[in-house]
């Protein structure tokens, strides 16, 4: 069973049909919507500030979601996929966003709806990503406009697939 731990009087809350891997860690002031998943070795650490997820958010293997004490909260909208080993810290991510593997999103970043942050990208503190953008590089910059085909083929497909993948594990003791 995942480590779901109270901290500073806050106990994580989650909606219906969520799945957490046995070695996922979810701590403190964390609230998740429905159909969320937190995968193997991922950490959602709401010890120093709040972390809020909408529905159908997946935090993939090894990713870390955190915030900054008394400064920044982390808010993720609906249909957000956080790729393997990504770091998402003290920022706002609106609906329908794919944050690629190994990318870093720093404090006070704001990613508007319908975007892709490419694998390995680094969004420096305070970066604002406009809707329908693809950002890549170090530091990350807009490299193109997100097309409807790319949106459906990547952003929507991955969010939907992770709901399906989580269903494969739901017969075990790690489902919620």
The DSSP-derived string for 85-132 is: T-EEES-EE-SSEEE-TT-EE-TT-EE-SSEEE-TT-EE-TT-EE-TT
pLDDT class for 1, splitting at 50, 70, 90?
A: confident
Q: Work out how many domains the chain is built from and give that number.
A: 1
Q: Does residue 176 sit within a domain?
A: no
Q: What average pLDDT does this structure show over 8-30? A: 98
The residue segments making up the domain with residue 52 are: 3-169
Tell me what pLDDT residue 67 has.
Answer: 98
Mean pLDDT, residues 42-62 = 98
> Has residue 174 got a pLDDT over 90?
no
- pTM across the whole model: 0.96
Give the CA distances from residue 135 to residues 104, 114, 144, in Å, rounded to whole numbers and listed in that order: 12, 12, 7
Is residue 173 predicted with pLDDT exceeding 70? no
The answer to whether position 25 is within a domain reads: yes
DSSP state letter for 17: T
- Average pLDDT of the residues in 117-141: 98
> What CATH number should be reported for the domain holding residue 44?
2.160.10.10
Amino acid 70: pLDDT: 94
Per-residue pLDDT, 170: 85
pLDDT number for residue 72: 98
pLDDT score recorded for residue 28: 98
- In a domain? residue 132: yes
């Amino acid at each position: 069973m995942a480590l779901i731990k109270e901290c500073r009087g806050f106990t994580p809350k989650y909606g219906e049909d969520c799945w957490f891997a046995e070695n996922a860690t979810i701590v403190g002031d964390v609230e998740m919507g429905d159909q969320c998943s937190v995968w193997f070795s991922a950490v959602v650490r709401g010890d120093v500030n709040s972390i809020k997820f909408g529905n159908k958010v997946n935090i993939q293997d090894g990713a870390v979601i955190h915030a900054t004490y008394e400064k920044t909260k982390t808010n993720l909208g609906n249909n957000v996929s956080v790729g393997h080993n990504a770091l998402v810290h003290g920022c706002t991510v609106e609906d329908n966003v794919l944050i690629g593997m190994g990318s870093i999103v720093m404090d006070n970043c704001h990613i508007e709806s319908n975007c892709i942050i490419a694998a390995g990208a680094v969004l420096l503190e305070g970066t604002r990503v406009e809707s329908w953008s693809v950002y890549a590089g170090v530091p990350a910059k807009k490299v193109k406009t997100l097309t409807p085909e790319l949106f459906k083929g990547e952003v929507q497909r991955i969010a939907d697939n992770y709901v399906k993948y989580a269903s494969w594990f739901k017969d075990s003791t790690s489902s919620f």
